[in-house]
Copies of this chain bind each other. A is one copy, B any other.
């Protein structure tokens, strides 16, 4: 299957949302994420259902962050995306009648299970506020002032 990039995309989108003074339209976000509005709507739908963001229709509508970044963990986002399949590796058919196949599948499954546990535990220890801090660090490393880069869509000529 194709690579699933929803996770980093959504993180990226949330960081931008946090810096917006007005609701961000799907089109605007799509431009930032190098994709299109339909993908944005589809991907953000889960976050809306979980209360991380809200969306409004009509003039001046769009996406708005509904919680402070410090209250959003990466694990929460992963869940909101529907806990997408993590591995490209499979562990075979579950209901095999061959006992050797069962042993082979069980060993593979166990290694994947442990790796998945690790992954989730790392995600639950990181909040979006941590990412925002990382972003600001990157800004300063380039000698830039983050305050100069907050996004005010109403100021686009």
A residues near B (Cβ < 8 Å) are 1-5, 7-9, 11-12, 15-16, 32, 74, 84-92, 98-108, 110-112, 114-119, 122-123, 126, 130-132, 134-135, 138-139, 142
Contacts and interface: CB of A to CB of B under 8 A. Distances in A.
Contacts of A85: 88-89
Contacts of A90: 3-5, 7-8
- Counted per complex, copies of this chain come to 2
Most buried by B among A84, A116, A119: A119
Per DSSP, chain A at the interface is helix
Contacts of A7: 89-91, 108
A138 B99 CA distance: 7
